[in-house]
Amino acid sequence: MIVLALALTVAVLYGAGTYLLFQRNLSRIVIGLALLTHGANLLLLLAGGRAGRPPIVGEGVGPAADPIPQALALTAIVITFGSTAFLLALAYRSWLLTRSDEVEDDVEDVRIATMTALREREAEEEIVVDEEAS
């Protein structure tokens, strides 16, 4: 039962994280990534199977919990914590520079896009001129 609840939580975290990742606002993207990484860490924990007694040699009776996924999750948490902190710092810097939370368009992409648009307009104008001439 608890496993099912955890699995559902993982699904919700992945779903919500993915949705937020598609937004244009940087703060939403950061939160989306945080949710996704939480989901991934929970998934790691779930991968270890059922809960059991503390995995210490010579203590207690009955099946012990698998310690490896816990160790993996712990490492993953530390790493994602650091990376998210860096991303937040970057987002803050971006806000300082642009005073906006939106992800900007790429300058070079915009230039190429406008180039194509200009050429298309020129071509259209030529057609119009040709028609007028005939």
Partner 1 sequence: MTPLLPVIVPFGAAAVSLALGRHHALRRALGVFALVTNVVTSVLLLRQVQDGSVITVVVGDWPAPIGISIVVDLFSAIMLSVAALMVLAVFLYAIGSSRTDDTTLFFHPVYLLLASGVSASFVTGDLFNLFVAFEMTLVCSYVLITLGGSRPQVRHGTTYVVISLLASTLFVTAIGLIYAATGTVNMADLAVKLQAIDPALRDALSVLFLVVFGIKAAIFPLFFWLPDSYPTAAAPVTAIFAGLLTKVGVYAIVRSQTLLFSQDTHSTLLLVVAGLTMTVGVLGAIAQDDVKRILSFHIVSQIGYMIFGLGLFSVAGLAATVFYIVHHIVIKTTLFMVGGLIEERTGTAALRRLGGMLHTSPFLAALFLIPALSLAGVPPLSGFVAKLTLIQSGLAVGAYVTVTVALVVSILTLFSMTKIWAGVFWGAPEAPPPMPEGLESTRPRFPPLMVGSTAALVGASLLFVVVAAPLYEMGQRAAEFLFEPARYVEAVLGP
Number of alpha carbons in the 13 Å side-chain half-sphere of residue 47: 12
Q: 16 or 103, CB closer to partner 1?
A: 103
CA angle (102, 106, 109) in 5-degree steps = 140
Contact in structure between 33 and 84 (CB atoms under 8 Å): yes
The reply to whether 26 sits near partner 1 by the rule CB under 8 A is yes
Q: Please state the closest distance from residue 2 (CB atom) to partner 1, in A.
A: 16
Sign of dihedral through CA atoms 107, 113, 114, 119?
Answer: positive
Taking residues 95 to 114 in sequence order and writing x for each that binds partner 1 by CB under 8 A, - otherwise, the string is: --xx----xx-xxx---x--
- DSSP 8-class letter at 34: H
Q: Please state the closest distance from residue 122 (CB atom) to partner 1, in A.
A: 18
The reply to whether 64 sits near partner 1 by the rule CB under 8 A is no
φ/ψ (deg, to 5) at 42 = -65, -40
φ/ψ (deg, to 5) at 103 = -75, 125
The reply to whether 75 sits near partner 1 by the rule CB under 8 A is yes
Q: 4 or 133, CB closer to partner 1?
A: 4
Q: If DSSP codes are grouped into helix, strand and coil, which group holds residue 20?
A: helix
Contact residues for partner 1 (CB under 8 A)?
A: 21, 26, 29, 33, 36-37, 39-41, 43-44, 46-48, 68-69, 72, 75-76, 79-80, 82-84, 86-87, 90-91, 93-94, 97-98, 103-104, 106-108, 112
